[in-house]
Chain A
Amino acid sequence: MSVLIFAESNNGKFNKATLEVASYAKEIANTLGTTVTAVAINASETDELAQYGVDKLLTVTNSSIENFNARAYADVVKQAAEKENATIIVMSSTTNGKYLSPLVASSLNAGYASNVIALPESTSPFKVKRTAFSNKAFSVTEISSDNKVIALAKNAFGLKENATSTTQESFDAIINDAHLTTTVTAVDKTTGKVTIADADIVVSAGRGLKGPENWGMVEELADVLGAATACSKPVSDLGWRPHNEHVGQTGKPVASNLYIAIGISGAIQHLAGINASKVKVVINTDPEAPFFKAADYGIVGDAFEVVPTLIEKLKAFKAQNA
């Protein structure tokens, strides 16, 4: 009864979230005295998994599911779990992971806990800590069913190397034809730009920037830091920035290592959305802005003066530390 992970890949290559899931599953497997099995679909570069403790890899090669297809992928993961007698299945909290997990859980009659941030507090009963109330609180959740599905929050457990050798086995899962009726017709993905979901650093700006024409310096700062750009809700509502940059309770959650907020006052909904970020910096003219209570570092000052200086100094810093 190994611990099963779904090894999500993009263009054949595993993403960081998958390696975090492998690291996490290995710790659980060690506690239970068992091994980790991964199941991957149409992945081509599979070597990395050994470094993070995956003992066995089931590879599924199937041209009918070149694109992510949640219902078909759920068929694969379910059958992999049955084959491996796995009762604990770990997924990532990526958009695809959150799409897939409840389908897998329902097909295995499993209890499901999403946004899990730490190793189980105990494995019998099985209790995990997860975020709730839009990051304003945590809950310790017990999963009482025999089968358990957990989705690990991004950047919460981190990567932990645990080198082993992985045995590979090709796996022919049977996909229900009725599950192939949803097909991808177009993908619109920003290329060459860091996305909020993958970013270690996020640079975000709010209404304090006065207008969309002033976003050049935000983008430049993000560029220097290799960061993704984001914005507050009013800015997206005003149409200054696209909706997919809106972070907060009804927008995207951010769990980056560093979050820099420029001209964002810090409404409770915004702060909830970025709470999982590790280090927060605020730049705002108003010392009373609520963001200062949530931030680690703050500058009371005019963004139009502070940000250009910051860009210049960071460039010098990067040049020196390159």
Chain B
Amino acid sequence: MNILVCISHVPDTTSKINFANGDTEFDTNGVQFVINPNDEFGLTKAMFLKEQNGATVTVVNVGGTESEPTLRKALAIGADNAIRVNAEAKDGFFVAKQLAEVVKNGNYDLVIAGKESLDYNGGMVPGMLAGFTDYNFVNACTSLDLDGTSAKAVREIDGGNETVSTSLPLVVGGQKGLVQESDLRIPNMRGIMMARKKPLQVVDATGSDNQTNVVSFEKPAEKSAVKLISPDNIDELISLLHNEAKVI
């Protein structure tokens, strides 16, 4: 079985978000980049599937050379090989087009991509990729069991879960639940050494336009200071929530 895991290279979740160039660009100064957490759950799930049933796991990223350390980390965690589509990830539409080309050339049975990246939060790539490849698609997937070409998946719905039966080839929009937080793997020294020797193929982008672009960024307005209420005066809190905030 061939599994493709799509990896987005995103600022660490603890990053302070700042913008540069007249608020038109994300300021990468002092920011540590990591594997997008939703993708990391997917990568770990791919490792589990590989260990259970045998599979070749390829990781792919659309980005410049700056994302290679992130791909190497995925290799150190256990992916077999990596592909970097050499292009700036202009928008989700563009990225999904690039990935669809990779899927077309690679004969993948299962594609796992995080349901959204923690930077742009577009939530575009898995769905559009399924659309472009005409693969089955389960989004916000919290559990996946494969049996031959059949798949049983659980997805999150508002207020609960839904179990679906589907089949390969399949695109999964991954998130926490595919594996648990405690299942995530930290690369060990041996993994890191081996990752250096694993193939990282750089391919050219296929011609496609982006359909959206960010004109500018804004940070939320500064909050006014918290109103402190004495623990002995709960009536005041209720009165403020009722009369001032008008939420109860």
A-facing residues in B197-248 (Cβ within 8 Å): 210-220, 223, 226-231, 234-235, 237-238, 240-242, 245, 247-248
Q: Determine whether A45 belongs to the interface, using a CB cutoff of 8 Å to chain B.
A: no
CA distance A249 to B161 in the complex (A): 20
The one of A100, A181, A188, A258 in contact with B167, judged by C-beta atoms closer than 8 angstroms, is A181
The residue from A70, A96, A138, A269 contacting B13, defined by CB atoms under 8 A apart: A269
Query: B158 touching A94 by the CB < 8 A rule?
Result: yes
Of A46-54, A81-89, A189-197, A209-217, which binds chain B?
A189-197
Cβ–Cβ contact A105 & B247, under 8 A: no
CB neighbours of B157 from chain A (8 A):
68, 95-96, 187, 189
Interchain CB contact (< 8 A) of A198 among B38, B159, B167, B212: B159
Beyond A250-B176, A258-B245, whether A297 also contacts B17 by CB under 8 A is: no
B139-159, CB under 8 A of A: which get 1 and which 0?
Answer: 110100000000010011111
Partner of A268, one of B13, B122, B125: B13
Residue on A nearest B181 in the bound complex, by CB? A237
Interface residues on A, range: 35 or more
Residue A168 is within 8 A (CB to CB) of chain B in the complex = no
- CB neighbours (8 Å) of A123 from chain B are none
Mask, A71-107, CB within 8 Å of B = 1, is: 1001000000000000000000011101111110111
Tell me if B130 and A298 are in contact (CB < 8 A).
no
Q: Which of A19-27, A29-37, A55-63, A301-309 contacts B (4 or more CB under 8 A)?
A: A301-309
Contact between B123 and A137 (Cβ–Cβ < 8 Å)?
A: no
Q: Is A124 an interface residue (CB 8 A)?
A: no
Whether, in the assembled complex, B134 has its beta carbon less than 8 Å from a beta carbon of chain A, the answer is yes
Nearest CB of A to B96, in Å: 7
Is B14 in contact with A142, judged by CB distance below 8 angstroms? no
Q: Are A132 and B120 closer than 8 Å at their CB atoms?
A: yes
Instruction: Answer yes or no: B33 CB below 8 A from chain A CBs.
Output: no
**A134 and B121: CB pair below 8 A?**
yes
Whether A178 touches B134, Cβ cut-off 8 Å, given contacts A105-B93, A317-B242, is: yes
Question: Which residues on A sit within 8 Å (CB–CB) of B229?
Answer: 297-299
Q: Which residues of B contact A71 (CB under 8 A)?
A: 130, 136-137
Question: Whole-angstrom distance between the alpha carbons of A98 and B126 in the complex?
Answer: 11
> B226–A298 contact, CB under 8 A?
yes
CB-CB under 8 A from A114, the residues of chain B are: 121-124
B231, A299: Cβ atoms under 8 Å? yes
A300 to chain B: which residues have CB within 8 Å? Answer: 228, 231
Does A167 have its Cβ within 8 Å of any Cβ on chain B?
A: no
Complex contact B238–A313 (CB within 8 A): yes
Q: What distance in Å separates the Cβ of A224 from its nearest Cβ neighbour in chain B?
A: 10
CB distance from B176 to the nearest CB of A (A): 6
B78 at the interface (CB under 8 A from A): no
Q: Can you name 19 A-B residue pairings with CB atoms under 8 Å?
A: A94-B158, A95-B156, A96-B157, A99-B173, A100-B127, A101-B127, A102-B128, A132-B119, A144-B210, A144-B212, A184-B164, A258-B241, A275-B220, A279-B245, A297-B229, A298-B229, A299-B234, A300-B228, A314-B248
A interface with B by C-beta (< 8 Å): 67-68, 70-71, 74, 94-96, 98-103, 105-107, 109-115, 127, 129, 131-134, 136-145, 151, 178, 181-190, 193, 195-198, 200-201, 225, 237, 243-244, 246, 249-251, 257-258, 268-269, 272, 275, 278-279, 281-282, 292-302, 305-306, 309-310, 313-314, 317, 321
B→A interface (CB under 8 Å): 11, 13-14, 17, 19, 26, 37-38, 91-93, 96, 115, 118-128, 130-132, 134, 136-140, 142, 152, 155-167, 173, 175-177, 181-182, 210-220, 223, 226-231, 234-235, 237-238, 240-242, 245, 247-248
